[in-house]
């Protein structure tokens, strides 16, 4: 029952000749997006219309209506594709008239009403095919509330909103379908996905896997550690937990199972590691770009703020994998490439990453950064003949970028529908007031409720949609208790990301389950345990802003050291093992040390750090004496 809510339409595979035609069309579209973003300035409404209408025309042919759809598009698919093109042409031809009309004052013409309704219906169907029935039902519920909420009593009711009024705001302004989420996907997200796709097509994915294997493969629990590092590195390119699981998990999960790791643990490691990729700079996920655009905070500032928490997340997952390996005596992975050979064969793949990071630090806009990064991939791979990309290979990467954006476009168009609808009714402030009443304005309880609501909203949803719902419905409550804008939205972003591994739906676990051949619910439970630091970190950076780089240098340095000590202490407490078993009382002490180490005041943090380091050092010395 729950799984059916996230089932999407069948992604069709075409014959070789048909696939080539599709790739060429998709590549031409990608070139148009690149040109429109980097070389000309278009009206926001025109950009959104062209972007969605052309994408939808491909989406209805590439993605079937149900999981059991035929491999060939049927008559309905062709009709929907043609309707998308026709609607796009109408809106493009009349863009100047539509842009200059005064909302709610100039009445919609019959043609505007008809084509607006068609585009609204196409958006809902595209969303259903790419994200499943769950998100579609939620969006429909919001639309029903918009249309009929006037019959509800205060404080949940609102004024009368007719269909024409709803249609006008959702379709004929940049506050609805063509709002912030779609604008971000049509610009930043598309170009950064292009960067990742080019790097992947050039062989960067294999290089990062070999690099992870070279560094950790022969250590205890090596295969699981390979999964953690390679998924984190790949996540900086993909920014999607599910695609990360599929891309890296198809290699790491079978290796772990072959060496005796349980299917449950193998899947959980991959899910926990892949989920963190959406929070890992420099690219992060599409939700991070939406955060920057929605809040007005520079993307560079978001990246800086995300760096330390992301490192702590992966240190936590890596540490728990190691302690689990100690507890269960897990095997290493001996068939690993040598580090020197790995660098010799793939050092050029580090050039684009360096170029992108340098561009961000230098203050270039995200668009220029992504564009330069994508160009540097092609240039760096041209250094050696064996990595040089042919014209057709580049064309394939451009086309694949467009195809990867298809499901994201459906989700972000849906998020635009929610934002537009909520802006009419003021439901966001009402929801915030309910949270404040339930929490009694207590800061910790409000944060806990905000985290729970965001996770529930994100069940079965793509991260961008989950974050948008949290930003609209929950962020006002965090603002009322005095949480600064950046911390509040980073807090919501983290829990929107973590919803991908949270039961009962856990979309990332569903992807891993298909590879591991294990119950997705069991995988999700183990993944939550491995990602326990991720549930802890957002509360920390609200409590201590130095964790996200806010404050003077001494505060930030103490926060980094305290964060590392606290992460190790918490990981030991969760796993119940360091070099040997840890009892309940020791676990409680370690949790206390973890909390004290990340405190915002030196008088608490420094003693906590000292105690934590002393406990860790004592255990290591004791173990070494035992070995001798």
- Give the DSSP letter string of 12-46: ----HHHHHHHHHHHHHHHHHHHHHHHT----HHH
CA atoms within 13 A on the CB side of 358: 9
Task: Give the closest residue to 59 by CA, choosing from 92, 95, 29.
Answer: 29
Residue with tokens 């370690």: 590
**How far is residue 344's CA from residue 350's CA, in Å, rounded to a whole number?**
12
First to last CA, the chain: 56
Q: Over the stretch 288-311, which tens digit does the pLDDT of each residue have? A: 888 988 899 998 899 899 999 999
State yes or no: pLDDT of 428 exceeds 80: no
Q: What predicted TM-score, i.e. pTM, was given to this entire model?
A: 0.85
Token pair, residue 372, equals: 């330069």
Residue with tokens 């100690």: 326
What is the structure's pLDDT at 429?
73
Token pair, residue 460, equals: 């079965």
Residue 511 or 390, more confident? 390
pLDDT, average across residues 573-582: 83
Q: Are 177 and 120 in contact (CB under 8 A)?
A: yes
Which H/E stretch holds residue 580? none
- Cβ of 5: how many Cβ atoms within 10 Å? 19
pLDDT, average across residues 167-191: 85
State yes or no: pLDDT of 22 exceeds 90: yes
Token pair, residue 95, equals: 């863009």
**How far is residue 580's CA from residue 348's CA, in Å, rounded to a whole number?**
42
Which pLDDT band holds residue 4 (cuts at 50, 70, 90)?
low
Q: How many residues does the chain have?
A: 628
Residue 587, classified by CB atoms within 10 Å of its CB into exposed (0-12), middle (13-18) or buried (19+), is: middle
What is the structure's pLDDT at 237?
63
Residue 113, classified by CB atoms within 10 Å of its CB into exposed (0-12), middle (13-18) or buried (19+), is: middle
Which pLDDT band holds residue 531 (cuts at 50, 70, 90)?
very high
Which pLDDT band holds residue 121 (cuts at 50, 70, 90)?
very high
Token pair, residue 16, equals: 């070789």
- Cβ of 265: how many Cβ atoms within 10 Å? 24
Token pair, residue 327, equals: 């507890």
What is the structure's pLDDT at 24?
95
State yes or no: pLDDT of 574 exceeds 60: yes
**How far is residue 269's CA from residue 330's CA, in Å, rounded to a whole number?**
13
Which pLDDT band holds residue 23 (cuts at 50, 70, 90)?
very high
Q: What is the mean pLDDT of the chain?
A: 86
pLDDT, average across residues 83-95: 90
Buried b (16+ CB within 10 A) or exposed e, 398-426: bbbbbbbbbbbbbbbbbbbbbbbbbbbbe
Concatenated DSSP letters of 278-346 = GG-TTT--HHHHHHHHHH---HHHHHHHHHHHHHHHHHHHHHHHHHHHHHHT---------HHHHHHHH
State yes or no: pLDDT of 627 exceeds 60: no
Q: Are 455 and 495 in contact (CB under 8 A)?
A: yes
**How far is residue 138's CA from residue 141's CA, in Å, rounded to a whole number?**
5
**Beta bridge partner(s), residue 581:** 577
Beta strands in 310-357 (DSSP E): none
Minimum mean pLDDT among 18-32, 74-88, 271-285, 597-611: which range? Answer: 271-285
**How far is residue 613's CA from residue 621's CA, in Å, rounded to a whole number?**
12
pLDDT above 90 covers what percent of the chain? 33
State yes or no: pLDDT of 130 exceeds 70: yes
Q: Over the stretch 138-151, which tens digit does the pLDDT of each residue have? A: 888 888 888 888 88
Task: Give the closest residue to 313 by CA, choosing from 485, 582, 475, 495.
Answer: 495
**How far is residue 326's CA from residue 240's CA, in Å, rounded to a whole number?**
30
What is the structure's pLDDT at 624?
67
Q: Helix H segments across 518-583?
A: 520-530, 532-543, 553-575
State yes or no: pLDDT of 619 exceeds 80: no
Backbone angles phi, psi at 323, to 5 degrees: -65, -35
State yes or no: pLDDT of 32 exceeds 90: yes
Q: Where are the domains of the chain?
A: 3-183, 188-397+428-540, 551-628
Residue 217 or 325, more confident? 325
Contacts of 131 (CB under 8 A, 6+ apart): 6, 8, 407, 410, 411, 414, 461, 462, 465
Contacts of 231 (CB under 8 A, 6+ apart): 244, 245, 248, 249, 252, 270, 273, 274, 276, 277
State yes or no: pLDDT of 623 exceeds 80: no
């Amino acid at each position: 029952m729950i799984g059916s809510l996230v089932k999407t339409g069948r992604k069709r595979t075409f014959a070789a000749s048909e696939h080539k035609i599709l790739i060429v069309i998709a590549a031409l579209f990608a070139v148009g997006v690149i040109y429109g973003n980097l070389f000309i300035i278009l009206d926001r409404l025109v950009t959104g219309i062209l972007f969605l209408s052309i994408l939808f025309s491909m989406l209805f042919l590439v993605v079937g209506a149900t999981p059991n759809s035929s491999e060939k598009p049927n008559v309905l698919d062709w009709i929907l594709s043609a309707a998308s093109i026709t609607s796009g042409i109408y809106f493009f031809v009349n863009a100047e008239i539509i842009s200059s009309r005064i909302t709610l004052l100039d009445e919609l013409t019959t043609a505007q009403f008809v084509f607006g309704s068609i585009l609204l219906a196409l958006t809902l169907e595209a969303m259903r095919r790419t994200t499943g029935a769950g998100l579609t039902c939620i969006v429909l519920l919001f639309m029903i509330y918009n249309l009929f909420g006037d019959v509800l009593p205060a404080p949940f009711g609102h004024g009368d909103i007719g269909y024409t009024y709803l249609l006008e705001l959702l379709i004929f302004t940049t506050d609805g379908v063509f709002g912030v989420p779609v604008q971000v996907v049509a610009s930043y997200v598309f170009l950064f996905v292009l960067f990742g796709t080019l790097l992947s097509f050039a062989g960067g994915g294999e290089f990062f896997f070999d690099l992870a294997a070279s560094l950790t493969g022969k250590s205890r629990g090596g295969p699981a550690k390979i999964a953690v590092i390679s998924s984190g590195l790949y996540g900086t390119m993909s920014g999607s937990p599910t695609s990360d699981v599929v891309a890296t998990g198809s290699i790491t999960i079978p290796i772990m199972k072959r060496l005796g790791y349980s299917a449950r643990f193998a899947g959980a490691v991959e899910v926990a590691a892949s989920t963190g990729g959406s929070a890992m700079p420099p690219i992060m996920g599409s939700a991070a770009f939406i955060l920057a655009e929605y809040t007005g905070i520079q993307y560079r500032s978001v990246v800086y703020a995300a760096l330390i928490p992301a490192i702590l997340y992966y240190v936590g997952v890596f540490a728990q994998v190691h302690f689990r390996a100690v507890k269960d005596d897990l095997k290493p992975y001996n068939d690993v490439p040598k580090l020197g050979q790995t660098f010799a064969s793939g050092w050029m793949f580090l050039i684009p990453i360096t170029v992108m990071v340098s561009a961000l630090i230098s203050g270039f806009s995200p668009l220029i950064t992504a564009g330069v990064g994508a160009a540097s991939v092609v240039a760096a791979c041209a250094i050696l003949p064996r990595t040089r990309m042919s014209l057709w290979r580049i064309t394939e990467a451009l086309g694949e970028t467009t195809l990867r954006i298809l499901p994201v476009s459906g989700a972000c168009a849906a998020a635009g529908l929610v934002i537009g609808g909520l802006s009419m009714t003021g439901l966001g402030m009402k929801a915030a007031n309910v949270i404040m009443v339930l929490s009694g304005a207590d800061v910790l309880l409000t944060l806990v409720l905000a985290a729970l609501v965001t996770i529930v909203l994100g069940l079965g949803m793509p991260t961008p949609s989950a974050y948008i719902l949290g930003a609209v419905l929950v962020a006002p409550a965090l603002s009322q208790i005095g949480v600064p804008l950046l911390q509040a939205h980073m807090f919501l972003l983290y829990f929107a990301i973590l919803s991908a591994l949270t039961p009962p739906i856990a979309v990332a676990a569903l992807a891993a389950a298909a590879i591991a051949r294990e119950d997705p619910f069991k995988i999700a439970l183990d993944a939550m345990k491995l990602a326990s630091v991720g549930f802890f970190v957002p509360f920390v950076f609200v409590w201590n802003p130095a964790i996200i780089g806010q404050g003077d240098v001494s505060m930030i340095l103490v926060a980094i050291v305290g964060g590392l000590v606290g992460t190790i202490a918490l990981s030991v407490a969760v796993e119940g093992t360091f070099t040997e078993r840890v009892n309940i009382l020791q676990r409680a002490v370690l949790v206390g040390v973890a909390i004290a180490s990340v405190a915002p005041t030196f008088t608490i943090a420094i003693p906590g750090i000292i105690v934590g380091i002393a406990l860790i050092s004592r255990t290591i010395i004791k173990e070494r004496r035992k070995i001798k």
